[in-house]
Structure 1
């Protein structure tokens, strides 16, 4: 289970940012509560998105951005040959395996953000056509970008889960906490 950083306990900007990121991760994680891999791979709406695919994507994206900030290549490089695998589980991948991977990525993200000397430190944006060339962004930008990316997909996850079985975010929070939501 991905741990939740409590901003009020941390009392600092890094703690607050990490807390918001953990909260958004929780929305996606909860959307998968009680589902089989088959249910998580279902496409119950007009979208091609699935809960399993969203999980894989956010874990991969988070790992990739933190790797770039460290000056390392992402663990998975996406291009035209494998882009179609970005939002689907392949080659024996499972929801359980992706959740475990994301938990590891989340721990690495938190350790990295806490270790950088300053949130004002920068790293270059990737050399991709959709980014401005020769531009650098701050570590603060990195965490805010991860919050935005994860929150966007947490909203997708809410819609997909509710389309699957009617479970709403409130009911899933209650389920995660061991209570029943009417």
Structure 2
């Protein structure tokens, strides 16, 4: 396939730039360092990579297939002392579990990114899908593929900032400055 131009090239360039900044925050870390939660939050670098990979994959599937079934969770009345399995699974998405490695989640993210890049290069950017029924989305709203890819740029960029703070807290290394 020829390299995309115009809008597609801009989307790909932005995604790749922010992915590189994000992945730069985990360069040279051990699995143990990638599991550290050095700030007031419960975020760790390995978990962030895992989350961003999962989220990008979910949005790419959304572009092609529309909304996935959502877990049956009443988000307003969760008993946090005994949350449902869907909530526990979501929490684990933000952790690098003992059986996982940083290299493994980085490889997953890189495969996911390549698949998304192929999608950006080929999909109708005006194709529209209804957003899932969830409390964080406007009821009845839909997004174009273009809007999804812009959201991925924003999501990746935001998490690159989180990751930068975590990395600086671990060993003082910063991606900029």
Structure 1 gaps of 5+ residues are 1-8, 172-182
User: Using a 3 Å threshold, how does the CA distance of structure 1 residues 135 and 52 change in structure 2: closer, same or farther?
Assistant: same
Are residue 59 (structure 1) and residue 53 (structure 2) matched?
yes
* Aligned with residue 136 of structure 1, among 134, 142, 147: 142
Contact 2:34 2:96 in 1 (8 A): no
CA deviations over 1:3-36 (Å, ceiling 9, x no partner): xxxxxx8541111111111111111211111110
The residue that corresponds to 2:75 in the other structure is: none
CA deviations over 1:157-176 (Å, ceiling 9, x no partner): 111111111111148xxxxx
How far apart are 1:130 and its partner, in Å? 1.7
Give matches, 1:130-169, under 5 Å: 130-169=136-175
The residue that corresponds to 1:108 in the other structure is: 115
How far apart are 1:43 and its partner, in Å? 1.3
Structure 2 gaps of 5+ residues are 72-84
Alignment length (residue pairs): 161
> What TM-score comes out, normalization by structure 1 length?
0.81
CA RMSD of aligned residues (A): 2.1
How far apart are 1:69 and its partner, in Å? 1.2
Give matches, 1:37-52, under 5 Å: 37-52=31-46
Higher-RCO chain (CA-CA 8 Å, sequence separation at least 6): 2
> What TM-score comes out, normalization by structure 2 length?
0.83
